[in-house]
């Protein structure tokens, strides 16, 4: 019992740390807004692999990585997750650099609700009436935004869908956080490195444009790998629904940064959509707490009945 509690508490800390770091990540990307989004993502991939290599050696994870490389099932899953996370990174960086962080934050607000839909579609889970209403309300909010400011709604939907699928497949993949991320970045590195070399060779690369840019790019590996490692480690320790609720931290920080620091305009369509999403998440959270308390009462009653069964038995 103590071990389980410590396991969950560790997962909560890891998950919260990951989402806090992701929340402030737009500040990092904005400092590199003179670079192409594809160049930033390519550097994230290459420097992540270089950052992870020493960790793999220090923690002696080569045997586990070799086992993963030798499994067709694991490699197929990680090839899929690598493509998903690379696409997610590219869309998100593009959104930040092109003043669409509001749509980016909306995408990550939507992600827990997309997790619910994945549970229904892929795991055949059933929704309560409150959950069904919450999902419908969120869908209505997205529709309002699509009609009122629809030129960028694709950003929100792409980010929500790609990251929800990434989290789902990484959770079910039989590989730990460090090993999985190392293989994912290794799969992506040849393409990323080729793109960087082409940009530098054609004079379009910005790696050595100024000392600050060079330093920021060198930090790309740590800025990318640390929160992602924390997230994947948390996903192994926490129920998927709990991990989804922690994600509210990151988009809340991003929302504030977009409006207060970046000066992005909050339109009426944005306000209606965000209001619908926040209300849907509140309904979902309250329903989850109610269901959790009911389950806890049922478990307590079952334990009490089991403990009472022998002494209470009439001879």
- At residue 314, the pLDDT reads 47
Q: Which two tokens stand for residue 104?
A: 């980016």
Q: Count of CB atoms within 10 A of residue 270's CB? A: 22
- At residue 308, the pLDDT reads 64
pLDDT tens across the length of the chain (315 residues): 444 666 777 888 888 899 899 999 999 999 999 999 999 999 999 999 999 989 888 888 889 899 989 999 999 999 999 999 999 999 999 999 999 998 998 888 888 778 778 877 877 777 788 878 888 888 888 888 777 756 788 999 999 999 889 988 988 888 888 888 899 999 999 999 999 999 998 988 888 888 999 999 999 988 988 888 888 788 778 776 677 667 778 888 999 899 999 999 888 888 888 888 888 878 877 877 777 677 667 777 777 776 666 555 544
Sign of the Cα pseudo-torsion (218, 223, 224, 230, in order): positive
Closest CA relative to residue 264, chosen from 164, 149, 179, 137: 149
- At residue 228, the pLDDT reads 80
- At residue 237, the pLDDT reads 80
> How distant is the alpha carbon of residue 198 from its chain centre?
30
> What does the domain layout of the chain look like in residue ranges?
2-309
- At residue 303, the pLDDT reads 73
- At residue 240, the pLDDT reads 63
- At residue 11, the pLDDT reads 83
- At residue 1, the pLDDT reads 43
- At residue 20, the pLDDT reads 92
- At residue 136, the pLDDT reads 86
**Are 19 and 249 within 8 A, CB to CB?**
yes
- At residue 142, the pLDDT reads 82
Q: Which two tokens stand for residue 130?
A: 């409150």
């Amino acid at each position: 019992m103590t071990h389980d509690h410590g396991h969950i508490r560790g997962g909560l800390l890891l998950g919260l740390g990951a989402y806090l770091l992701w929340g402030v990540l737009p500040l990092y990307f904005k400092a590199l807004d003179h670079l192409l989004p594809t160049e930033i993502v390519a550097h994230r991939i290459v420097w992540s692999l270089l950052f992870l290599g020493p960790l793999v050696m220090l923690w002696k994870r080569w045997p586990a990585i070799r086992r993963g490389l030798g499994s067709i099932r694991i490699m197929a899953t990680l090839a899929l997750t690598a493509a998903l996370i690379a696409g997610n990174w590219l869309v998100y960086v593009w959104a930040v650099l092109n003043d669409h962080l509001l749509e980016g934050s909306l995408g990550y607000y939507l992600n827990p609700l997309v997790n619910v839909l994945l549970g229904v579609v892929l795991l055949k889970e059933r929704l309560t009436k409150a959950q069904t209403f919450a999902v419908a309300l969120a869908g209505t909010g997205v529709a309002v935004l699509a009609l009122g400011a629809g030129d960028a709604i694709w950003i929100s939907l792409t980010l929500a869908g790609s990251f929800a699928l990434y989290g789902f497949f990484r959770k079910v993949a039989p590989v730990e956080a460090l090993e999985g991320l190392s293989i994912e970045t290794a799969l992506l590195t040849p393409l990323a490195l080729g793109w960087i070399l082409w940009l530098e060779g054609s004079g379009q690369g910005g790696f050595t444009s100024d000392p600050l840019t060079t330093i920021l790019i060198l930090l790309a590996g740590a800025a990318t790998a640390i929160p992602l490692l924390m997230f994947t480690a948390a996903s192994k320790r926490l129920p998927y629904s709990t991990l989804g609720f922690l994600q509210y931290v990151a988009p809340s920080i991003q929302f504030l940064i977009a409006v207060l620091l970046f000066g992005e305009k909050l339109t009426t369509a944005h306000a209606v959509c965000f209001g619908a999403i926040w209300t849907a998440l509140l309904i979902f959270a309250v329903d989850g707490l109610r269901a959790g308390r009911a389950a806890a009462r049922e478990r307590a009653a079952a334990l009490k009945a089991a403990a009472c069964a022998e002494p209470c038995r009439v001879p």
